[in-house]
Structure 1
Amino acid sequence: MFDWEDLRHFSAFISAGSLSAAAKRLGVDHATVARRISSLEASLQLKLVDRRPRAYALTEQGLRVGEFAEQMLASSFALEHFASADQHTVEGEVVIAAPPALLGSMVARRLGALYQRYPHLQLKLVGSKSRASLARREADVAIALARPTEPTLVASLLGHLEYTLYASAAYLRQREPQVYIGYDDSQAKSPQQLWLLKHATGRPFALQSNDLRIQAQAAAGGVGIACLPAFMAEEYGLKPVNENSSMSIEIWLAVHEDVRNTPRIKAVTDFLIEQVKPLLRL
Protein backbone atom coordinates (compact mmCIF):
# COMPACT_ATOMS: atom_id res chain seq x y z
CA MET A 1 0.00 0.00 0.00
CA PHE A 2 1.37 3.40 -0.91
CA ASP A 3 1.70 6.37 1.45
CA TRP A 4 -0.95 9.06 0.79
CA GLU A 5 1.65 11.78 1.44
CA ASP A 6 3.81 10.34 -1.35
CA LEU A 7 0.87 10.63 -3.73
CA ARG A 8 0.12 14.18 -2.57
CA HIS A 9 3.71 15.25 -3.23
CA PHE A 10 3.64 13.58 -6.65
CA SER A 11 0.39 15.36 -7.52
CA ALA A 12 1.91 18.69 -6.47
CA PHE A 13 4.90 17.99 -8.71
CA ILE A 14 2.61 17.37 -11.70
CA SER A 15 0.56 20.47 -10.98
CA ALA A 16 3.53 22.77 -10.37
CA GLY A 17 5.65 21.43 -13.21
CA SER A 18 8.97 21.08 -11.37
CA LEU A 19 10.47 19.81 -8.12
CA SER A 20 11.34 23.31 -6.92
CA ALA A 21 7.90 24.74 -7.70
CA ALA A 22 6.19 21.80 -5.97
CA ALA A 23 8.49 22.17 -2.97
CA LYS A 24 7.65 25.86 -2.69
CA ARG A 25 3.93 25.13 -2.89
CA LEU A 26 4.15 22.42 -0.21
CA GLY A 27 6.54 24.31 2.08
CA VAL A 28 9.30 21.69 1.90
CA ASP A 29 12.66 21.41 0.13
CA HIS A 30 12.97 19.90 -3.35
CA ALA A 31 14.86 16.87 -1.99
CA THR A 32 11.76 15.94 0.03
CA VAL A 33 9.59 16.01 -3.11
CA ALA A 34 12.14 13.87 -4.95
CA ARG A 35 12.27 11.41 -2.06
CA ARG A 36 8.47 11.17 -1.92
CA ILE A 37 8.28 10.44 -5.65
CA SER A 38 10.90 7.71 -5.30
CA SER A 39 8.95 6.23 -2.39
CA LEU A 40 5.74 6.21 -4.44
CA GLU A 41 7.54 4.49 -7.33
CA ALA A 42 8.83 1.82 -4.95
CA SER A 43 5.39 1.25 -3.43
CA LEU A 44 3.64 1.01 -6.79
CA GLN A 45 6.57 -0.71 -8.52
CA LEU A 46 6.18 1.73 -11.41
CA LYS A 47 8.57 4.19 -13.05
CA LEU A 48 6.75 7.53 -12.80
CA VAL A 49 9.45 9.95 -13.93
CA ASP A 50 12.52 10.04 -16.14
CA ARG A 51 15.33 11.64 -14.14
CA ARG A 52 17.11 14.01 -16.49
CA PRO A 53 20.09 16.24 -15.59
CA ARG A 54 18.03 19.41 -15.15
CA ALA A 55 14.46 18.19 -14.70
CA TYR A 56 12.09 15.29 -14.13
CA ALA A 57 9.87 14.24 -17.02
CA LEU A 58 6.70 12.19 -16.54
CA THR A 59 6.56 8.72 -18.04
CA GLU A 60 3.37 7.29 -19.53
CA GLN A 61 2.81 5.46 -16.26
CA GLY A 62 3.41 8.69 -14.38
CA LEU A 63 0.77 10.47 -16.44
CA ARG A 64 -1.75 7.73 -15.68
CA VAL A 65 -0.97 7.71 -11.97
CA GLY A 66 -1.31 11.50 -12.03
CA GLU A 67 -4.86 11.12 -13.33
CA PHE A 68 -5.70 8.76 -10.48
CA ALA A 69 -4.06 11.17 -8.01
CA GLU A 70 -6.19 14.04 -9.31
CA GLN A 71 -9.36 11.98 -8.84
CA MET A 72 -8.35 10.96 -5.33
CA LEU A 73 -7.50 14.53 -4.34
CA ALA A 74 -10.85 15.73 -5.64
CA SER A 75 -12.61 13.04 -3.60
CA SER A 76 -10.67 13.90 -0.45
CA PHE A 77 -11.51 17.58 -0.82
CA ALA A 78 -15.15 16.72 -1.40
CA LEU A 79 -15.11 14.71 1.82
CA GLU A 80 -13.58 17.63 3.72
CA HIS A 81 -16.19 19.95 2.24
CA PHE A 82 -18.98 17.56 3.22
CA ALA A 83 -17.65 17.24 6.77
CA SER A 84 -17.45 21.01 7.23
CA ALA A 85 -20.82 21.81 5.64
CA ASP A 86 -22.73 21.46 8.92
CA GLN A 87 -20.40 23.63 10.98
CA HIS A 88 -22.19 26.58 12.54
CA THR A 89 -19.32 28.54 14.07
CA VAL A 90 -17.01 30.92 12.21
CA GLU A 91 -13.61 29.51 13.05
CA GLY A 92 -10.66 27.78 11.46
CA GLU A 93 -8.31 28.53 8.56
CA VAL A 94 -9.28 30.24 5.31
CA VAL A 95 -6.70 30.68 2.54
CA ILE A 96 -7.18 33.77 0.35
CA ALA A 97 -5.25 34.01 -2.92
CA ALA A 98 -4.92 37.16 -5.03
CA PRO A 99 -2.35 39.13 -7.01
CA PRO A 100 0.12 40.58 -4.44
CA ALA A 101 -0.70 44.23 -5.10
CA LEU A 102 -4.43 43.70 -4.60
CA LEU A 103 -3.91 41.43 -1.61
CA GLY A 104 -1.86 44.06 0.20
CA SER A 105 -3.61 47.28 -0.72
CA MET A 106 -7.22 46.13 -0.98
CA VAL A 107 -7.47 43.19 1.43
CA ALA A 108 -4.81 42.99 4.15
CA ARG A 109 -5.23 46.51 5.47
CA ARG A 110 -8.97 45.94 5.99
CA LEU A 111 -8.83 42.63 7.84
CA GLY A 112 -8.82 44.11 11.33
CA ALA A 113 -12.57 44.59 11.15
CA LEU A 114 -13.03 40.94 10.10
CA TYR A 115 -11.03 39.69 13.09
CA GLN A 116 -13.09 41.87 15.40
CA ARG A 117 -16.22 40.12 14.17
CA TYR A 118 -14.74 36.62 14.12
CA PRO A 119 -11.75 36.35 16.48
CA HIS A 120 -11.38 32.59 15.92
CA LEU A 121 -10.68 32.89 12.19
CA GLN A 122 -7.18 32.05 10.99
CA LEU A 123 -6.33 33.60 7.63
CA LYS A 124 -3.54 32.73 5.24
CA LEU A 125 -2.88 35.24 2.45
CA VAL A 126 -1.22 33.87 -0.68
CA GLY A 127 0.06 36.50 -3.09
CA SER A 128 0.41 34.86 -6.47
CA LYS A 129 0.65 36.27 -9.97
CA SER A 130 -0.60 32.96 -11.36
CA ARG A 131 -4.08 31.81 -10.45
CA ALA A 132 -4.25 29.45 -7.47
CA SER A 133 -6.38 26.35 -8.01
CA LEU A 134 -9.35 26.18 -5.70
CA ALA A 135 -10.12 22.69 -6.96
CA ARG A 136 -6.74 21.46 -5.69
CA ARG A 137 -7.25 23.33 -2.40
CA GLU A 138 -4.34 25.69 -3.04
CA ALA A 139 -6.74 28.35 -1.74
CA ASP A 140 -10.29 28.54 -0.37
CA VAL A 141 -11.15 31.95 -1.81
CA ALA A 142 -9.55 33.71 -4.77
CA ILE A 143 -9.59 37.21 -6.19
CA ALA A 144 -8.67 37.03 -9.87
CA LEU A 145 -8.12 39.43 -12.77
CA ALA A 146 -10.14 37.24 -15.14
CA ARG A 147 -13.17 35.02 -14.74
CA PRO A 148 -12.14 31.58 -13.42
CA THR A 149 -13.01 28.73 -15.77
CA GLU A 150 -12.88 25.69 -13.45
CA PRO A 151 -16.36 24.11 -13.59
CA THR A 152 -16.59 23.46 -9.82
CA LEU A 153 -16.18 27.15 -8.92
CA VAL A 154 -18.75 29.81 -8.19
CA ALA A 155 -17.52 33.18 -9.46
CA SER A 156 -18.98 36.66 -9.05
CA LEU A 157 -17.86 39.88 -10.66
CA LEU A 158 -16.77 42.35 -7.99
CA GLY A 159 -16.35 45.19 -10.47
CA HIS A 160 -13.78 46.84 -12.71
CA LEU A 161 -10.42 48.21 -11.61
CA GLU A 162 -9.47 51.42 -13.38
CA TYR A 163 -5.90 51.95 -14.57
CA THR A 164 -4.39 55.14 -15.92
CA LEU A 165 -0.97 56.74 -16.33
CA TYR A 166 0.63 58.23 -13.22
CA ALA A 167 3.88 59.95 -12.34
CA SER A 168 5.28 62.04 -9.53
CA ALA A 169 4.46 65.76 -9.54
CA ALA A 170 8.17 66.55 -9.88
CA TYR A 171 8.49 64.28 -12.90
CA LEU A 172 5.50 65.87 -14.62
CA ARG A 173 7.17 69.27 -14.33
CA GLN A 174 10.11 67.98 -16.32
CA ARG A 175 10.44 68.60 -20.03
CA GLU A 176 10.13 65.93 -22.67
CA PRO A 177 11.08 63.28 -23.52
CA GLN A 178 9.15 61.22 -21.03
CA VAL A 179 9.97 57.56 -20.33
CA TYR A 180 7.86 54.72 -19.00
CA ILE A 181 7.76 52.03 -16.31
CA GLY A 182 6.13 48.71 -17.20
CA TYR A 183 6.01 44.97 -16.71
CA ASP A 184 8.81 42.61 -17.67
CA ASP A 185 8.44 39.79 -20.22
CA SER A 186 6.55 37.57 -17.75
CA GLN A 187 3.56 39.96 -18.01
CA ALA A 188 4.10 41.09 -21.59
CA LYS A 189 0.60 40.02 -22.71
CA SER A 190 -1.29 41.54 -19.79
CA PRO A 191 -4.02 44.06 -20.77
CA GLN A 192 -2.28 46.78 -18.74
CA GLN A 193 1.04 46.29 -20.53
CA LEU A 194 -0.54 46.19 -23.98
CA TRP A 195 -2.46 49.40 -23.21
CA LEU A 196 0.71 51.05 -21.91
CA LEU A 197 2.65 50.09 -25.05
CA LYS A 198 0.08 51.94 -27.18
CA HIS A 199 0.62 55.09 -25.13
CA ALA A 200 4.39 54.75 -25.04
CA THR A 201 4.43 54.82 -28.89
CA GLY A 202 7.92 53.43 -29.10
CA ARG A 203 9.42 55.54 -26.33
CA PRO A 204 11.82 53.70 -24.00
CA PHE A 205 11.04 51.84 -20.80
CA ALA A 206 13.30 53.14 -18.10
CA LEU A 207 12.38 50.30 -15.75
CA GLN A 208 10.54 46.98 -15.99
CA SER A 209 9.25 44.82 -13.13
CA ASN A 210 6.64 42.09 -12.66
CA ASP A 211 5.69 43.67 -9.31
CA LEU A 212 3.19 46.53 -9.53
CA ARG A 213 4.27 47.91 -6.16
CA ILE A 214 7.84 48.28 -7.40
CA GLN A 215 6.54 50.13 -10.44
CA ALA A 216 4.60 52.52 -8.19
CA GLN A 217 7.62 53.08 -5.96
CA ALA A 218 9.80 53.78 -8.98
CA ALA A 219 7.26 56.28 -10.31
CA ALA A 220 7.21 57.99 -6.90
CA GLY A 221 10.99 58.18 -7.10
CA GLY A 222 10.80 60.09 -10.38
CA VAL A 223 11.89 57.30 -12.72
CA GLY A 224 9.04 57.72 -15.20
CA ILE A 225 5.36 57.12 -15.98
CA ALA A 226 3.56 53.95 -14.84
CA CYS A 227 0.16 52.39 -15.58
CA LEU A 228 -1.42 51.96 -12.13
CA PRO A 229 -4.79 51.60 -10.41
CA ALA A 230 -5.97 54.74 -8.64
CA PHE A 231 -5.80 53.29 -5.11
CA MET A 232 -2.10 52.49 -5.55
CA ALA A 233 -1.26 55.83 -7.11
CA GLU A 234 -2.87 57.58 -4.15
CA GLU A 235 -0.75 55.55 -1.71
CA TYR A 236 2.41 56.95 -3.28
CA GLY A 237 1.18 60.49 -3.92
CA LEU A 238 1.27 60.15 -7.70
CA LYS A 239 -0.53 62.42 -10.15
CA PRO A 240 -2.47 61.41 -13.28
CA VAL A 241 -0.78 62.22 -16.56
CA ASN A 242 -4.07 62.42 -18.45
CA GLU A 243 -7.31 62.01 -16.49
CA ASN A 244 -9.32 61.39 -19.69
CA SER A 245 -7.38 58.28 -20.69
CA SER A 246 -7.84 55.03 -18.77
CA MET A 247 -8.43 51.30 -19.11
CA SER A 248 -10.11 48.78 -16.81
CA ILE A 249 -9.87 45.09 -15.99
CA GLU A 250 -12.41 42.80 -14.36
CA ILE A 251 -11.97 41.70 -10.76
CA TRP A 252 -13.60 38.37 -9.86
CA LEU A 253 -14.25 36.61 -6.57
CA ALA A 254 -14.25 32.82 -6.73
CA VAL A 255 -14.96 30.01 -4.27
CA HIS A 256 -15.44 26.27 -4.62
CA GLU A 257 -19.13 25.41 -4.91
CA ASP A 258 -18.89 22.77 -2.17
CA VAL A 259 -17.73 25.20 0.53
CA ARG A 260 -19.34 28.51 -0.38
CA ASN A 261 -21.93 28.16 2.43
CA THR A 262 -19.49 26.90 5.06
CA PRO A 263 -19.67 29.58 7.80
CA ARG A 264 -15.97 30.52 7.81
CA ILE A 265 -15.83 30.71 4.00
CA LYS A 266 -19.07 32.65 3.72
CA ALA A 267 -17.92 35.09 6.43
CA VAL A 268 -14.76 35.82 4.42
CA THR A 269 -16.47 36.11 1.02
CA ASP A 270 -19.19 38.37 2.44
CA PHE A 271 -16.51 40.55 4.02
CA LEU A 272 -14.51 40.79 0.78
CA ILE A 273 -17.62 41.78 -1.16
CA GLU A 274 -18.43 44.39 1.51
CA GLN A 275 -14.90 45.83 1.62
CA VAL A 276 -13.51 45.43 -1.90
CA LYS A 277 -16.55 46.04 -4.11
CA PRO A 278 -16.90 49.75 -3.13
CA LEU A 279 -13.31 50.31 -4.31
CA LEU A 280 -14.19 49.24 -7.85
CA ARG A 281 -16.27 50.61 -10.68
CA LEU A 282 -19.35 48.50 -11.34
Structure 2
Amino acid sequence: MLDWQDIHYFAVLAQAGSLSAAARALGVDHVTVGRRVAALEQALALPLVERLPRRTTLTREGAAVAALADEMAGTVQAIARRARGYADAAKATVRISAPPAVAARLIAPQVARFRQAHPGITLVLSGLSRMAALDRGEAEIAVRLTRPEDPDLVIRRIGVMRFALYATPEQAARPPEDWTFIGYDAALDHVVQQAWLRSLLDGRPIVFQASDLFGQQEAARAGLGAAVLPCFMGDGDPALVRLATGLTPPTRAIWLATYPDLKRAPGIRAALAFLAAAIGQGCPSGPS
Protein backbone atom coordinates (compact mmCIF):
# COMPACT_ATOMS: atom_id res chain seq x y z
CA MET A 1 0.00 0.00 0.00
CA LEU A 2 1.25 3.48 -0.87
CA ASP A 3 1.37 6.06 1.90
CA TRP A 4 -0.80 9.07 0.99
CA GLN A 5 1.44 11.39 3.01
CA ASP A 6 4.43 10.34 0.90
CA ILE A 7 2.42 11.16 -2.24
CA HIS A 8 1.34 14.50 -0.77
CA TYR A 9 4.91 15.50 0.08
CA PHE A 10 6.04 14.54 -3.41
CA ALA A 11 3.23 16.57 -5.01
CA VAL A 12 4.22 19.65 -3.02
CA LEU A 13 7.88 19.15 -3.97
CA ALA A 14 6.93 18.85 -7.64
CA GLN A 15 5.14 22.21 -7.44
CA ALA A 16 7.71 24.00 -5.27
CA GLY A 17 10.78 22.92 -7.25
CA SER A 18 13.17 22.46 -4.31
CA LEU A 19 13.32 20.67 -0.99
CA SER A 20 13.61 23.91 0.97
CA ALA A 21 10.61 25.52 -0.77
CA ALA A 22 8.53 22.36 -0.24
CA ALA A 23 9.56 22.26 3.41
CA ARG A 24 8.40 25.86 3.90
CA ALA A 25 5.06 25.11 2.24
CA LEU A 26 4.53 22.03 4.40
CA GLY A 27 5.84 23.51 7.65
CA VAL A 28 8.50 20.83 8.13
CA ASP A 29 12.26 20.57 7.62
CA HIS A 30 13.75 19.61 4.28
CA VAL A 31 15.06 16.32 5.67
CA THR A 32 11.48 15.19 6.27
CA VAL A 33 10.51 16.05 2.71
CA GLY A 34 13.49 14.15 1.35
CA ARG A 35 12.70 11.13 3.51
CA ARG A 36 9.06 11.04 2.39
CA VAL A 37 9.97 11.32 -1.29
CA ALA A 38 12.65 8.64 -0.94
CA ALA A 39 10.08 6.35 0.69
CA LEU A 40 7.71 6.87 -2.25
CA GLU A 41 10.50 6.13 -4.73
CA GLN A 42 11.27 2.94 -2.85
CA ALA A 43 7.61 1.88 -2.75
CA LEU A 44 7.21 2.50 -6.49
CA ALA A 45 10.68 1.23 -7.40
CA LEU A 46 11.03 4.32 -9.61
CA PRO A 47 13.37 7.32 -9.57
CA LEU A 48 11.05 10.34 -9.31
CA VAL A 49 13.48 13.25 -8.87
CA GLU A 50 16.95 14.31 -9.81
CA ARG A 51 18.53 15.95 -6.78
CA LEU A 52 20.61 18.97 -7.81
CA PRO A 53 22.42 21.38 -5.45
CA ARG A 54 19.87 24.24 -5.63
CA ARG A 55 16.78 22.66 -7.11
CA THR A 56 15.01 19.39 -7.68
CA THR A 57 13.89 18.35 -11.14
CA LEU A 58 11.48 15.56 -11.96
CA THR A 59 12.42 12.52 -13.96
CA ARG A 60 10.14 11.51 -16.82
CA GLU A 61 8.46 9.01 -14.53
CA GLY A 62 8.31 11.62 -11.76
CA ALA A 63 6.48 14.11 -13.97
CA ALA A 64 3.85 11.48 -14.81
CA VAL A 65 3.39 10.52 -11.15
CA ALA A 66 3.24 14.21 -10.16
CA ALA A 67 0.35 14.81 -12.57
CA LEU A 68 -1.58 11.92 -11.00
CA ALA A 69 -0.69 13.13 -7.51
CA ASP A 70 -2.07 16.55 -8.38
CA GLU A 71 -5.36 14.96 -9.40
CA MET A 72 -5.42 13.04 -6.12
CA ALA A 73 -4.85 16.24 -4.15
CA GLY A 74 -7.80 17.81 -5.94
CA THR A 75 -9.96 14.81 -5.04
CA VAL A 76 -8.95 15.06 -1.39
CA GLN A 77 -9.90 18.75 -1.36
CA ALA A 78 -13.24 17.90 -2.99
CA ILE A 79 -13.95 15.30 -0.30
CA ALA A 80 -13.16 17.86 2.41
CA ARG A 81 -15.42 20.44 0.77
CA ARG A 82 -18.27 17.92 0.43
CA ALA A 83 -17.92 16.95 4.10
CA ARG A 84 -18.13 20.60 5.11
CA GLY A 85 -21.21 21.02 2.97
CA TYR A 86 -22.94 18.13 4.78
CA ALA A 87 -21.87 19.23 8.24
CA ASP A 88 -24.12 21.07 10.66
CA ALA A 89 -22.30 24.38 10.93
CA ALA A 90 -23.79 25.81 14.13
CA LYS A 91 -20.13 26.40 14.93
CA ALA A 92 -17.78 26.94 12.02
CA THR A 93 -14.66 28.70 10.82
CA VAL A 94 -14.87 30.33 7.39
CA ARG A 95 -11.71 31.52 5.67
CA ILE A 96 -12.10 34.48 3.32
CA SER A 97 -9.54 35.82 0.89
CA ALA A 98 -9.93 39.40 -0.38
CA PRO A 99 -7.80 42.20 -1.85
CA PRO A 100 -6.09 44.10 1.00
CA ALA A 101 -8.06 47.36 0.69
CA VAL A 102 -11.38 45.52 0.41
CA ALA A 103 -10.51 43.36 3.42
CA ALA A 104 -9.41 46.27 5.61
CA ARG A 105 -11.86 49.01 4.63
CA LEU A 106 -15.05 47.20 3.55
CA ILE A 107 -15.14 43.83 5.30
CA ALA A 108 -13.32 44.20 8.64
CA PRO A 109 -15.38 47.19 9.88
CA GLN A 110 -18.56 45.11 9.44
CA VAL A 111 -17.39 41.91 11.13
CA ALA A 112 -18.80 42.92 14.54
CA ARG A 113 -22.26 43.05 13.00
CA PHE A 114 -21.76 39.58 11.53
CA ARG A 115 -20.54 38.25 14.87
CA GLN A 116 -23.66 39.54 16.63
CA ALA A 117 -25.88 37.75 14.13
CA HIS A 118 -23.77 34.54 13.99
CA PRO A 119 -21.88 34.12 17.29
CA GLY A 120 -20.89 30.55 16.45
CA ILE A 121 -19.11 31.40 13.19
CA THR A 122 -15.52 32.64 13.20
CA LEU A 123 -14.34 34.51 10.12
CA VAL A 124 -10.66 34.30 9.16
CA LEU A 125 -9.94 37.18 6.80
CA SER A 126 -6.79 37.28 4.66
CA GLY A 127 -6.01 40.44 2.74
CA LEU A 128 -4.06 39.03 -0.19
CA SER A 129 -2.74 40.79 -3.28
CA ARG A 130 -2.53 37.41 -5.02
CA MET A 131 -5.52 35.18 -5.69
CA ALA A 132 -5.95 32.44 -3.09
CA ALA A 133 -6.14 28.93 -4.53
CA LEU A 134 -9.59 27.74 -3.53
CA ASP A 135 -8.94 24.37 -5.15
CA ARG A 136 -6.08 23.82 -2.71
CA GLY A 137 -8.04 24.80 0.35
CA GLU A 138 -6.35 28.17 0.99
CA ALA A 139 -9.79 29.70 1.60
CA GLU A 140 -13.44 28.75 1.39
CA ILE A 141 -14.57 32.06 -0.14
CA ALA A 142 -12.67 34.44 -2.39
CA VAL A 143 -13.43 38.07 -3.19
CA ARG A 144 -11.84 38.90 -6.53
CA LEU A 145 -11.49 41.88 -8.85
CA THR A 146 -11.40 39.70 -11.97
CA ARG A 147 -14.08 37.22 -12.96
CA PRO A 148 -12.98 33.72 -11.86
CA GLU A 149 -12.41 31.37 -14.78
CA ASP A 150 -12.72 28.03 -12.97
CA PRO A 151 -15.97 26.51 -14.32
CA ASP A 152 -16.42 24.50 -11.11
CA LEU A 153 -16.86 27.64 -8.97
CA VAL A 154 -20.09 29.33 -8.05
CA ILE A 155 -19.53 33.02 -8.77
CA ARG A 156 -21.58 36.14 -8.16
CA ARG A 157 -20.98 39.78 -9.08
CA ILE A 158 -21.58 41.77 -5.90
CA GLY A 159 -20.39 45.30 -6.61
CA VAL A 160 -18.37 47.75 -8.66
CA MET A 161 -15.19 49.39 -7.41
CA ARG A 162 -15.01 52.97 -8.66
CA PHE A 163 -11.90 55.11 -8.72
CA ALA A 164 -11.07 58.80 -8.69
CA LEU A 165 -8.02 61.02 -8.37
CA TYR A 166 -7.42 62.35 -4.85
CA ALA A 167 -5.07 64.86 -3.25
CA THR A 168 -4.98 67.28 -0.33
CA PRO A 169 -6.88 70.59 -0.73
CA GLU A 170 -3.49 72.34 -0.94
CA GLN A 171 -2.44 70.15 -3.86
CA ALA A 172 -5.83 70.61 -5.50
CA ALA A 173 -5.40 74.39 -5.38
CA ARG A 174 -2.28 74.22 -7.53
CA PRO A 175 -2.58 74.70 -11.30
CA PRO A 176 -3.19 71.31 -12.96
CA GLU A 177 0.03 71.64 -14.94
CA ASP A 178 1.92 71.64 -11.62
CA TRP A 179 0.31 68.47 -10.25
CA THR A 180 2.52 65.53 -9.32
CA PHE A 181 1.33 61.95 -9.05
CA ILE A 182 1.58 58.84 -6.93
CA GLY A 183 1.15 55.38 -8.47
CA TYR A 184 1.94 51.70 -8.38
CA ASP A 185 5.40 50.34 -9.05
CA ALA A 186 6.22 49.03 -12.51
CA ALA A 187 5.14 45.47 -11.67
CA LEU A 188 1.52 46.68 -11.54
CA ASP A 189 1.47 48.83 -14.66
CA HIS A 190 -1.12 46.44 -16.12
CA VAL A 191 -3.91 47.23 -13.65
CA VAL A 192 -6.66 49.44 -15.08
CA GLN A 193 -6.34 52.27 -12.56
CA GLN A 194 -2.60 52.58 -13.20
CA ALA A 195 -3.18 52.67 -16.97
CA TRP A 196 -5.74 55.44 -16.40
CA LEU A 197 -3.26 57.36 -14.25
CA ARG A 198 -0.65 57.20 -16.98
CA SER A 199 -3.20 58.55 -19.45
CA LEU A 200 -3.49 61.64 -17.23
CA LEU A 201 0.20 62.45 -16.93
CA ASP A 202 0.77 64.52 -20.09
CA GLY A 203 4.43 64.89 -19.19
CA ARG A 204 3.84 65.42 -15.47
CA PRO A 205 5.83 63.13 -13.15
CA ILE A 206 4.99 60.20 -10.92
CA VAL A 207 7.07 61.19 -7.89
CA PHE A 208 6.37 58.17 -5.68
CA GLN A 209 5.49 54.53 -6.33
CA ALA A 210 4.06 52.02 -3.87
CA SER A 211 2.90 48.44 -4.31
CA ASP A 212 -0.24 48.90 -2.21
CA LEU A 213 -3.08 51.41 -1.94
CA PHE A 214 -2.44 52.13 1.73
CA GLY A 215 1.04 53.47 0.99
CA GLN A 216 -0.30 55.57 -1.87
CA GLN A 217 -3.06 57.00 0.31
CA GLU A 218 -0.66 57.98 3.08
CA ALA A 219 1.68 59.66 0.60
CA ALA A 220 -1.26 61.62 -0.83
CA ARG A 221 -2.34 62.61 2.69
CA ALA A 222 1.17 63.93 3.30
CA GLY A 223 0.79 66.27 0.32
CA LEU A 224 3.23 64.49 -1.97
CA GLY A 225 0.89 64.37 -4.95
CA ALA A 226 -2.34 62.96 -6.35
CA ALA A 227 -3.21 59.25 -6.20
CA VAL A 228 -5.84 57.12 -7.88
CA LEU A 229 -7.81 55.50 -5.06
CA PRO A 230 -11.02 53.51 -4.77
CA CYS A 231 -13.82 55.92 -3.93
CA PHE A 232 -14.58 54.05 -0.71
CA MET A 233 -11.05 54.99 0.46
CA GLY A 234 -10.76 58.51 -0.96
CA ASP A 235 -14.26 59.79 -0.23
CA GLY A 236 -14.02 58.60 3.36
CA ASP A 237 -10.72 60.39 4.01
CA PRO A 238 -11.24 63.93 5.38
CA ALA A 239 -7.69 64.89 4.39
CA LEU A 240 -8.34 64.33 0.67
CA VAL A 241 -10.57 65.78 -2.04
CA ARG A 242 -11.43 64.57 -5.53
CA LEU A 243 -9.65 66.21 -8.45
CA ALA A 244 -11.44 66.84 -11.74
CA THR A 245 -9.58 65.22 -14.63
CA GLY A 246 -11.86 65.48 -17.65
CA LEU A 247 -11.41 61.73 -18.26
CA THR A 248 -13.87 59.09 -17.08
CA PRO A 249 -12.26 57.06 -14.25
CA PRO A 250 -12.09 53.26 -14.52
CA THR A 251 -14.23 50.75 -12.67
CA ARG A 252 -13.66 47.14 -11.65
CA ALA A 253 -16.32 44.52 -10.95
CA ILE A 254 -16.11 42.69 -7.62
CA TRP A 255 -16.85 38.96 -7.56
CA LEU A 256 -17.56 36.36 -4.90
CA ALA A 257 -16.45 32.78 -5.53
CA THR A 258 -16.79 29.47 -3.71
CA TYR A 259 -17.45 25.81 -4.53
CA PRO A 260 -20.98 24.36 -4.74
CA ASP A 261 -20.14 21.71 -2.15
CA LEU A 262 -19.13 24.39 0.34
CA LYS A 263 -22.16 26.55 -0.37
CA ARG A 264 -24.36 23.88 1.20
CA ALA A 265 -22.87 24.64 4.64
CA PRO A 266 -24.89 27.15 6.68
CA GLY A 267 -21.74 28.97 7.78
CA ILE A 268 -20.62 29.50 4.21
CA ARG A 269 -24.05 30.72 3.16
CA ALA A 270 -24.12 33.19 6.05
CA ALA A 271 -20.64 34.48 5.17
CA LEU A 272 -21.54 34.85 1.49
CA ALA A 273 -24.63 36.90 2.35
CA PHE A 274 -22.60 39.06 4.74
CA LEU A 275 -19.87 39.74 2.17
CA ALA A 276 -22.36 40.62 -0.54
CA ALA A 277 -24.05 43.13 1.76
CA ALA A 278 -20.87 44.65 3.21
CA ILE A 279 -19.11 45.07 -0.13
CA GLY A 280 -22.26 46.05 -1.97
CA GLN A 281 -22.79 48.86 0.52
CA GLY A 282 -19.33 50.32 -0.08
CA CYS A 283 -19.19 49.53 -3.80
CA PRO A 284 -22.76 49.49 -5.12
CA SER A 285 -23.39 48.16 -8.60
CA GLY A 286 -25.67 51.07 -9.52
CA PRO A 287 -24.59 54.65 -10.33
CA SER A 288 -22.52 56.31 -7.61
TM-score range relative to shorter protein: 0.7 to 0.9
Unaligned runs of 5+ residues in structure 2 are none
Q: Matched residue of 1:85: which SS?
A: helix
CA distance in 2, matches of 1:217, 1:20: 37
Residue 35 of structure 1 aligns with which residue?
31
Partner Cα separation in structure 1 for residue 99 and residue 13 of structure 2: 22
Equivalent in the alignment of 1:137 = 137
Q: Distance in 2 between matches of 1:225 and 1:72?
A: 50
The answer to whether 1:115 aligns with 2:111 is no
Q: TM-score, normalised by structure 1?
A: 0.88
C-alpha distance in 2 between matches for 1:241 and 1:261: 46
Q: What is the number of residues matched between the two proteins?
A: 278
1:60-71 equivalences in 2 (<5 Å): 60-71=60-71
Separation of aligned partners in 2, 1:18 and 1:200: 44
1:245-260 → structure 2 map (5 Å cutoff): 245-260=248-263
**Which amino acid in the other structure matches residue 197 of structure 1?**
R
In the alignment, which residue of structure 1 is the partner of 2:225?
224
TM-score by length of 2: 0.86
Aligned-pair distance for 1:7?
A: 3.8
Structure 1 residues 127-276: aligned runs within 5 Å: 127-175=127-175, 176-237=177-238, 238-242=240-244, 245-276=248-279
What is the Cα deviation at residue 62 of structure 1?
Answer: 3.6
Alignment of 1:37-56 (within 5 A): 37-45=33-41, 46-56=46-56
Q: Taking structure 1 as reference, are residues 281 and 89 closer, same or farther at Cα in structure 2, changes over 3 Å only?
A: closer
CA distance in 2, matches of 1:66, 1:2: 14
Partner letter of residue 71 of structure 1?
Answer: E
Q: Is the 8 A contact 1:9 1:36 kept in 2?
A: no
Contact kept, 8 Å, 1:2 with 1:40, in 2: the verdict is no
Percent identity among equivalent residues? 34
C-alpha distance 157-16 of structure 1, shift in aligned 2 (>3 A): farther
Which residue of the partner structure matches residue 74 of structure 1? 74
Aligned-partner Cα distance in 2 for 1:17–1:198: 40
2:164–2:242 Cα contact (<8 Å) kept: yes
Q: How far apart are residue 25 of structure 1 and its match?
A: 5.3
Q: Classify 1:68/1:184 alpha carbon distance in 2 versus 1 (closer, same or farther; 3 Å).
A: same
Unpaired segments ≥5 residues, structure 1 = none
